[in-house]
Structure 1
Amino acid sequence: MRIGVTIFLTDETVRPVPLARELEQRGYDALYLPEHTHIPVSRDTPAPMGEPLPREYGRTLDAFTALAQAAAVTERLRLGTGITLIAQHDPVVLAKQVATLDHLSGGRFTFGVGFGWNVEEAADHGVDWRTRRRLGRDRLALMRALWAPEPTAYDGPFGAVRASEAHPKPVQAPRETPAGPLYGPRTLLGGAAGPRLFAHIAEHADGWLPIGGGGLTESLPLLRTAWEEAGRDAKDLTVVPYAVRPSAGKLAHFADLGVGEVIVQLPAAGPDEVLRALDSYAEFL
């Protein structure tokens, strides 16, 4: 079982460089970072993790900048977003950021994407909440046109790009699917279990990033069915439980389900508290 970590890195927590060095030295597999550009204080959206909203949500570092620092001081540690709020980005700029990070890290990047929960944050980015999922899928398709090996145009319902020279390309090789090759780094979709999400994963992604990992006994067979009905090879499906509070029993259960990697939650804290958490998780490495 490969064990990675996720943490809300902020201006008040441990910094990316010393954390990345500690993770690599201790044998952890990956560092995943969430993102929020801002949290409007006039928020009407209930927080799914409960109220009051934890302080770190409004103080997160930019994930791509922090991961670039981590990439620069490590050689093996894999890097990921958990998650990129794809509908809130300019897809041409985001395609460049993703490709650059994958290039500079030697192909170590996993692109975790999702659609968010904060209506007010999304609205400030000009996102219509009712269409955010279709918008996100369209932006991913546009990005993949820019990642294609030859100049490729894209004209979708929400955006278009001319056939362009767009380098660097992501290091990771394309994955062949019945709908065509998936260009770019490994891409995992976040979101709650259900037929709509599973259909999207089977069509557009390399796998699922379920928060907490609860309910996988029931949901994994449904995802695998959707995956195989889409003509995908069962061995190519990746499921990575995310922001897990680990225990030996929980990790053994995941392993029994065929899960090979897990991302555990670190506290949004200073170096001493984070190192204590890493020490406490060492038994699972």
Structure 2
Amino acid sequence: MRFGITMFATDLAMAPYELARAVEERGFDSLYVPEHTHIPVSRETAPPTGVERLPEEYARTLDPLVSLAAAAAVTERIVLGTGILLPAQREPIVTAKAVATLERLAPGRVVLGVGYGWNAEEGADHGVPWKRRRAMVREHVFAMRALWTEEEASFKGEFVNFDASWSWPKPSGRIPVLLGGAPGPTLFAHIAEYGDGWLPIGGAGIREALPGLRRACADAGRDMVRVVPFGTLPTEEKLAYYASLGIEEVVLRVPSGGREAVLPVLDEYAGSYP
């Protein structure tokens, strides 16, 4: 089983490049960082974690692509991923260039974990029509793929429109897109259509969900995609359970903090799992 690490990268936490070096030195396989552009102070959306007050790190999140570019400069092996990027809140032409540039800095080492978002007020500030955000994410991914792969890319959709255009750099290969979200027919249909895998946050309910994902992939005429439990707090029992389901990769969570808070947890994980 392969093990990755995720941390809320913030202005108060261990720098992403320092974390990336520590992750690679300890034999882990990947590093993922999340995205929130901002957190509106006044909002009605409940925190996704079920707590009464949203943790401060959500408002202090660093830009994930800039953070991963810094990580790319000081590593040679680990996969660098977004966990997760919010495409509906991003202009796709600019984002496609940023992701492609990151991949050129770390060829073959970039994974794009994407999601639909949970904070309606944050999305509204970006002009996201909340009930159509899934359709918007889908279009943005297809538009970015066109820019990554076509010599003269064009796109006509509901949310994205551009005529034949040149855009470089091109990635050195396919950039995998992993979709995060709660299990269900809508998510699984999207994964089967345009995703390369599923990032179940926390990993609860995977056994019950896998048959639905397999059916969606089969209906789309493709092989089963990879499943990567994300943000896991590991135990031997939990990891054995994942292995019994055929899962080959798990992303472990470390606290958002300075070196004194993060490195002991990394050392504990490295001594027990990779």
Which TM-score band applies after superposition, normalised by the shorter structure?
over 0.9
Secondary structure, counterpart of 1:167 in structure 2: coil
Question: Counterparts of 1:189 and 1:19 in 2: how far apart (Å)?
Answer: 24
Aligned to 2:10: 10
Question: Counterparts of 1:274 and 1:116 in 2: how far apart (Å)?
Answer: 27
Measured after TM superposition, the shift of residue 172 of structure 1 is 2.0
Measured after TM superposition, the shift of residue 161 of structure 1 is 1.6
Measured after TM superposition, the shift of residue 138 of structure 1 is 1.0
Aligned to 1:267: 255
Question: Counterparts of 1:149 and 1:139 in 2: how far apart (Å)?
Answer: 15
Mapping 1:138-157, distance limit 5 Å: 138-157=139-158
Aligned to 2:214: 224
Q: Does 1:284 align with 2:268?
A: no
Counterpart contact for 1:172–1:186, Cα < 8 Å: no
Measured after TM superposition, the shift of residue 168 of structure 1 is 1.0
Aligned to 2:127: 126
Counterpart contact for 2:82–2:111, Cα < 8 Å: yes
Question: Counterparts of 1:107 and 1:161 in 2: how far apart (Å)?
Answer: 28
Measured after TM superposition, the shift of residue 17 of structure 1 is 1.6
- Partner amino acid for 1:11? D
- Partner amino acid for 1:68? A
* Deviations 1:92-144, CA, capped at 9 Å, x for gaps: 00100111111110120000011111011101101111111111111111111
- Partner amino acid for 2:251? I
| 4+ aligned runs moved over 2 Å, structure 1 | none
Secondary structure, counterpart of 2:153 in structure 1: coil
Aligned to 1:107: 108
Measured after TM superposition, the shift of residue 149 of structure 1 is 3.5
Question: Counterparts of 1:78 and 1:144 in 2: how far apart (Å)?
Answer: 20
Question: Counterparts of 1:152 and 1:34 in 2: how far apart (Å)?
Answer: 29
Aligned to 2:167: 166
2:181 aligned residue (173, 182, 191): 191
Secondary structure, counterpart of 1:192 in structure 2: coil
Counterpart contact for 2:26–2:267, Cα < 8 Å: no
Q: Does 1:254 align with 2:255?
A: no
Measured after TM superposition, the shift of residue 199 of structure 1 is 0.5
Counterpart contact for 1:145–1:153, Cα < 8 Å: yes
Aligned to 2:226: 238
1:215 aligned residue (205, 212, 222): 205
Secondary structure, counterpart of 1:258 in structure 2: coil
Question: Counterparts of 1:196 and 1:255 in 2: how far apart (Å)?
Answer: 26
Mapping 1:66-77, distance limit 5 Å: 66-77=67-78
Question: Counterparts of 1:149 and 1:42 in 2: how far apart (Å)?
Answer: 42
Aligned to 1:28: 28
Question: Counterparts of 1:259 and 1:190 in 2: how far apart (Å)?
Answer: 16
* Deviations 1:43-85, CA, capped at 9 Å, x for gaps: 2110110221001000011111110000000000110001111
Measured after TM superposition, the shift of residue 150 of structure 1 is 2.3
Question: Counterparts of 2:200 and 2:173 in 1: how far apart (Å)?
Answer: 23
**What number of residue pairs does the alignment pair up?**
272
How many percent identity over aligned positions? 55
Aligned to 1:182: none
- Partner amino acid for 1:102? E
Question: Counterparts of 1:215 and 1:136 in 2: how far apart (Å)?
Answer: 24
- Partner amino acid for 1:36? H
Measured after TM superposition, the shift of residue 233 of structure 1 is 2.1
Measured after TM superposition, the shift of residue 152 of structure 1 is 2.5
Question: Counterparts of 2:172 and 2:190 in 1: how far apart (Å)?
Answer: 24
Counterpart contact for 1:191–1:211, Cα < 8 Å: yes
Question: Counterparts of 2:42 and 2:191 in 1: how far apart (Å)?
Answer: 33
- Partner amino acid for 1:51? E
**TM (normalized to structure 2)?**
0.97
- Partner amino acid for 2:239? L
Q: Which runs of 5+ in 2 are unaligned?
A: none
